[in-house]
């Protein structure tokens, strides 16, 4: 048990603040491609293509061109973007937890493996996303979790390191990498458990006293 509270809280985005389902995108794309539905799923979610996109190795135009070449997709980039990115559902208790931390004056950050089309959509549709102090997005830095470099970028952005950072992520590998740097990292399994972990770190005390 440490006696000092974390100075900042860093959130993963996918499956922590926003749930997502690529199946939604697959069903929307299906009428405009020339390959079977399960092949679309493999193409946009399980192939190296999405990794190349989210690691910044290719940009949005290149990603779209590769999807077109592999699937025969017959829509515009705007149509593709709408189908590909509108796959999120807000996890309201976690968004409320973030809002509570903001009210308490605790700096918050996003650390996400993601892509430009997803972030464009999230900015337009989820007002909470603008309320962080900073963002570390894999495609902008050309590095993905759990590589140490992206955690170092987050430390530099937050101006804190080690146990001064509390981190919430749903992927065990990403949590382990954060713990290796000395961060207080929580494997997000449910809003209730993550809220309890944030409270146990002492960060919600002031709100409870209101
Ligand atoms: Mg996640």
To the question of domain 8-19+88-209 being in CATH 3.40.50.1000, the answer is yes
Packing angle of the helix pair 22-29, 77-85 (nearest 10 deg)? 150
Q: Percent of the chain having pLDDT more than 70? A: 96
Centre of ligand 1 from the C-alpha of residue 195, in Å: 16
Output 1 or 69, whichever has higher pLDDT: 69
Q: Three-state SS for 169?
A: strand
CA distances from 121 to 118, 157, 194 (A): 5, 24, 26
Question: What was the pLDDT predicted at 3?
Answer: 62
Centre of ligand 1 from the C-alpha of residue 74, in Å: 31
Centre of ligand 1 from the C-alpha of residue 70, in Å: 27
Centre of ligand 1 from the C-alpha of residue 15, in Å: 5
Centre of ligand 1 from the C-alpha of residue 187, in Å: 10
Q: Three-state SS for 71?
A: helix
Task: Read off the pLDDT of each residue in 17-23 and give the average, rounded to a whole number.
Answer: 94
DSSP β-bridge partners for residue 137: 112
pLDDT digits (tens, 9 = 90+) for 138-182: 999 999 999 999 999 999 999 999 999 999 999 999 999 999 999
Q: Which CATH number fits domain 22-85: 1.10.10, 1.10.150, 1.20.1510, 1.20.1070?
A: 1.10.150
Q: Where are the domains of the chain?
A: 8-19+88-209, 22-85
* Mean pLDDT taken over the chain: 95
pLDDT at 128 over 70: yes
pLDDT digits (tens, 9 = 90+) for 70-84: 999 999 999 999 999
Q: In terms of Cα–Cα distance, which of 70, 174, 65 is closest to 114?
A: 174
Residue whose entry in the numeric block shows the structure tokens 């705007």? 78
Q: How many CB atoms lie within 10 A of CB 80?
A: 23
Give the burial string for 178-193 (b: 16+ CB within 10 Å, else e): beebebbbbbbeebee
Centre of ligand 1 from the C-alpha of residue 204, in Å: 23
Contact 197, 167 (CB under 8 A): no
Using pLDDT thresholds of 50, 70 and 90, give the confidence band for residue 45.
Answer: confident
Distance (Å, rounded) from C-alpha 119 to C-alpha 116? 5
């Amino acid at each position: 048990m440490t006696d000092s509270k974390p100075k900042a809280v860093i959130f993963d985005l996918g499956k922590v603040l926003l749930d997502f389902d690529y199946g939604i995108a697959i069903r929307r794309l299906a009428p405009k491609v020339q390959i079977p539905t399960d092949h679309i799923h493999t193409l946009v979610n399980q192939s190296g293509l999405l990794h190349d996109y989210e690691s910044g190795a290719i940009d949005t135009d290149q990603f779209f061109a590769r999807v077109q070449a592999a699937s025969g997709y017959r829509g515009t980039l705007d149509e593709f973007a709408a189908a590909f990115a509108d796959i999120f559902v807000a996890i309201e208790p976690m968004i409320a937890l973030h809002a509570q931390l903001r009210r308490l004056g605790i700096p918050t950050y996003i650390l996400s493996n993601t892509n430009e089309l997803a972030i464009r959509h999230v900015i337009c549709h989820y007002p909470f996303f603008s309320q962080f102090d900073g963002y570390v997005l894999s495609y902008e830095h050309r590095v993905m979790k759990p590589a140490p470099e992206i955690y170092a970028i987050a430390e530099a952005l937050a101006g804190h390191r080690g146990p001064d950072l509390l981190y919430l992520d749903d992927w065990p590998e990403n949590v382990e990498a954060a713990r290796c740097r000395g961060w207080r990292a929580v494997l997000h399994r449910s809003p209730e458990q993550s809220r309890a972990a944030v409270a146990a770190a002492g960060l919600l005390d002031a709100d409870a006293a209101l």
